[in-house]
Amino acid sequence: MKEETQQQWLQTAQQFQQSMVDTWGKAFESFKNMDLGQAGAKLMAPTTKPPQVSFSPDKLQELQQQFLKDATELWNNSFKGEHVLKDRRFADPAWAANPMAAFTAAAYLLNAKTLAAMADAVETDDKTRARIRFTVEQLTAAAAPSNFMALNAEAQKKALDTNGESISKGLQNLLHDMQQGHISMTDESLFHVGQNVATTEGAVVFENEFFQLIEYKPLTDKVYEKPFLLVPPCINKFYILDLQPDNSVVRYAVAQGHRTFLVSWRNPDASLAKATWDDYIENAVIKAITVTQEVSGAKTINALGFCVGGTMLGTALAVLAARGEKPVASATFLTSMLDFSDTGVLDLFIDEAFVSYRELEMGKGGLMKGGDLATTFSFLRPNDLVWNYVVGNYLKGETPPPFDLLYWNSDSTNLPGPFYAWYLRNTYLENKLTKPGQATVCGQKVDLGKVDMPVYIYGSREDHIVPINGAYATTQYLPGKKRFVMGASGHIAGVINPPAKNKRCYWVRDDDKLPKTHDEWMQGAVEHPGSWWTDWSTWLAAQAGKQIAAPKTYGKGKHKVIEPAPGRYVLAKA
């Protein structure tokens, strides 16, 4: 490179870097107003006062020097045609084969890396720094050249190779997704609830305005005397636990000889706009426990709560304990939080101003739209759950492959506003469930120290919704005998890991010791290949009592069959 040209490039690069520094003080303001779609706009609320943001001059100089070094290397590599694009968005050979596209991608990666480093260098409180980092991740993810037809070499090549057919198909996909109101993550036309997902045979034996209770048909001649009740999250449809026969938690439990019941939540509409957390605990979780006892004739049952369902189950058990009632013999908590000290990336959105805004907006009535919630969770992983599908569906004209889990992920549910507002304040903001007597639910003071029963606690190592530290923290509050297990992968894929597939791995401690922190627990943990389901099955069988003859019919007494599983509640769309 000629010295004059190099100097011009360095000067341009330095000016660009300085402009980023000069404008960075406005980053938090743009964060509050940035557009993440309808959900993102509704998610953010104004803070009471602007945060204090500054930079260390030495750190800025260090970042600038590194940027200039990397920019010079990028410029030199552009003449040699040697750009190394270590990012799967630019992995297709079409990027490397097009010098301009390769340079654009390399320059983007350099700028994204520099902006991320600047976010980490901000001198401010931890929460503001995390919010700025999140903002940068969102903006750089959206600005990737792979997201634009004019810059995406792979999409352009496909358009040429297909004589424009991929563009036509992409426009069709875009119009289809605009009509349905969300980005297609899978070919949704291939899935039908009750036909090829949620297919475990059973019947609805109870319903009220909040839920239907499904009883499943036994697959064994004998069943354990203590029935088994599953409480899925009301923020989603229940069939994440009953996708297809080979990956169904429900079917697995039934096949292991458990007389299995499940809560199928109603998808709230205007008639439930004023429903509260107390309503859901009393009239849904506790009611489901009672009906399961009545149908089975058992004095006590075993129960499982998944995600928010685990939080609700733990709350219900504390309410029952305060009343002197212990109808549940053992509990399983899957990727659930009772202690909200470590909420991971979701903590970015929670502060007094945001919660107060939500209380004002819908604390007395209203609905938190399921589509908004779904979009928000997708943007927690924007490259994987948003832009990946924008590129594939619209720029390359591809139909995403069939995937039952992603079909479920797109089948969103609403939440009643008062329920949602109570949940935000009492868990994420004030963490009251872990403070004896601080939270009052159904007229009772919540004290997890009274929830004395054997419990099985599962957390996923890479969970971005219930961080592993948050899942582990439950071990420190429940007084009964506890077993903690950590699985590989994330919030959903870690849980839905059937033994037959022989995938992933899990960790346990043979001594069952539960030190104060997860890091300490890991020091004595042993890795095992395959699914944690087998470990859990052994544990649950030990809690289930003797085996008795399997029932020949559904329901009992006043609890008669209403309709076949999966029932009509799960079919309602948000």
- Active-site positions read 307
Q: Tell which phi-psi region holds residue 431, choosing left (phi > 0), alpha (psi between -120 and 50) or beta.
A: left
The answer to whether the CB of 420 falls within 8 A of the CB of 358 is yes
CA 174 to chain centre: 25
Task: Give the angle 87-91-95 at the CA atoms, nearest 5°.
Answer: 110
- Surface-to-core class of residue 485, CB atoms within 10 Å of its CB (0-12 exposed, 13-18 middle, 19+ buried): buried
User: CA 493 to CA 514: how far, in whole Å?
Assistant: 25
User: CA 49 to CA 244: how far, in whole Å?
Assistant: 50
* Coil/strand/helix, residue 392: helix
Q: Which two tokens stand for residue 237?
A: 């449809």
Q: Is the peptide bond before 566 cis (omega within 30 degrees of 0)?
A: yes
How far CA 149 is from CA of 60, 154, 159, 174, 330, in Å, comes to: 34, 9, 10, 14, 55
Q: Which two tokens stand for residue 311?
A: 């939080």
Residue 103 identity (one-letter amino acid): F
User: CA 1 to CA 546: how far, in whole Å?
Assistant: 81
Q: Which residue has the tokens 């992603």?
A: 406
Written as one string, the DSSP assignment of 125-136 is -HHHHHHHHHHH
- Surface-to-core class of residue 163, CB atoms within 10 Å of its CB (0-12 exposed, 13-18 middle, 19+ buried): exposed
User: CA 313 to CA 304: how far, in whole Å?
Assistant: 8
E strand residue ranges, 406-558: 415-416, 440-441, 444-445, 455-460, 482-487, 505-508, 526-529, 547-549
* Coil/strand/helix, residue 483: strand
Q: Which two tokens stand for residue 278?
A: 């107390």
Q: Tell which phi-psi region holds residue 437, choosing left (phi > 0), alpha (psi between -120 and 50) or beta.
A: left
User: CA 490 to CA 504: how far, in whole Å?
Assistant: 11
- Surface-to-core class of residue 65, CB atoms within 10 Å of its CB (0-12 exposed, 13-18 middle, 19+ buried): exposed
The answer to whether the CB of 298 falls within 8 A of the CB of 276 is no
Phi, psi angles (nearest 5°) of residue 572: -70, 135
E strand residue ranges, 337-431: 367-368, 415-416
* Coil/strand/helix, residue 346: helix
